[in-house]
Amino acid sequence: MSQTLLQVKDLKVAYGGIHAVKGINLEIKQGELVALIGANGAGKTTTLKTLIGMVKPSDGEIMFNGKSTAKLHAYDYVRHGLVLVPEGRGIFSRLTVEENLQMGAYVRDDKAEVAADLERVYGLFPRLKERYKQLAGTLSGGEQQMVAIGRAMMSRPKLLLLDEPSMGLAPIIVQKIFEIIRMIAAEGVTMLLVEQNAKLALQTANRGYVMESGHVTLADSAANLLANEAIQKAYLGE
Ligand SMILES: Nc1ncnc2c1ncn2[C@@H]1O[C@H](COP(=O)(O)OP(=O)(O)O)[C@@H](O)[C@H]1O
Ligand SMILES: [Mg+2]
């Protein structure tokens, strides 16, 4: 039985009077790839932002590696291995590919290992190695997503949170990004994957949670969710 890495208990998040997350429970074990699906506005992004301390909960508890994250400072999260690849990627468009990747390692002082990790990231993304000197803003959308994921990998995440990595990408590029997600999972990195493309997300994940207007309405194995008729109708276009 593997260890629980993340435990979210009765989490509530509000923006002023808007209750975006209304008391959710989530659990992720070491090594799992978990999908979080749901319609626009369900509260998925808010959940991810709360997990990395960008948004403060109004109630509930987040335990990471058995410890509450309530007292962590913004700059502690990456150091603890909680890393978000945000919706829209958030890369530095005026920096080169390699400079962007280096930014992911800014909390680390183990220079030799950072250099080794850079090679490892280039191994995952040969395309980025070819373009290491190119300004990130001039890359295609798929390449920019690779930079965003590669940058997160440079911080040696323990839990990698991905917000809509396939958003706005052509189908063939989406396949490529999911191939990379599978490779990262195979390296043992635990992931929470938020995706509009629910089918592909559930085909890739071990387990999934379904969010509807701030609530988790279903939690099951990815296989069961894929076979669930209500889920098929609502999210899988079947
Ligand atoms: N910065 C914000 N200020 C006010 N309301 C917000 C903010 N961000 C999100 N919301 C609202 O919170 C709800 C959940 O949004 P979000 O977490 O972005 O959902 P999802 O990622 O599932 O589409 C929505 O009703 C949205 O309008
Ligand atoms: Mg979102």
pTM over 0.85: yes
The yes-or-no verdict on residue 237 having pLDDT over 90 is no
Q: What is the pLDDT of residue 121?
A: 96
Q: Given the DSSP bridges, would you call strands 190-194 and 159-163 parallel, antiparallel or unpaired?
A: parallel
Confidence of residue 1 (pLDDT cuts 50, 70, 90): low
Mean pLDDT over 46-60 rounds to 97
Residue 166: phi and psi, rounded to 5, are -95, 0
Quick one: pLDDT at residue 36?
98
Residue 107 has pLDDT above 90, yes or no: no
Q: Quick one: tokens of 190?
A: 């635990």
Q: Over 80: is that where the pLDDT of 203 sits?
A: yes
From 26, 45, 55, 196, mutation site for ligand 1 pocket: most ligand atoms within 8 A of C-beta? 45
Ligand 2 centre to CA of 41 (Å) is 7
Q: Judge whether residue 130 has pLDDT over 70.
A: yes
If you average pLDDT over residues 131-142, what whole number do you get? 97
Q: What is the mean pLDDT of residues 141-159?
A: 96
CA 48 to ligand 2 center in whole angstroms: 9
Question: 86 C-alpha vs ligand 1 centroid, how far in Å?
Answer: 14
Helix, strand, coil shares, percent, the chain, to 5: 40, 30, 35
CA distances in angstroms from 73 to 145, 153, 200, listed in the order given:
27, 21, 34
Q: Whose CA is nearest to atom 26 of ligand 1?
A: 41
pLDDT mean across residues, the chain: 95
Identify which ligand lies nearest to the alpha carbon of 39.
1
Identify the nearest ligand to the CA of 46 by its number: 1
The predicted pLDDT at position 238 comes to 73
How do residues 207-236 score in pLDDT, each as one tens digit? 999 999 999 999 999 999 999 999 999 999
Q: What's the rounded Cα separation, in Å, for the pair 191 and 34? A: 6
Maximum pairwise Cα distance, the chain: 51
Predicted local distance difference test score (pLDDT) of residue 74: 85
What is the distance between the alpha carbons of residues 50 and 28, in angstroms, rounded to a whole number?
Answer: 15
163: β partners: 194
pLDDT for position 108: 81
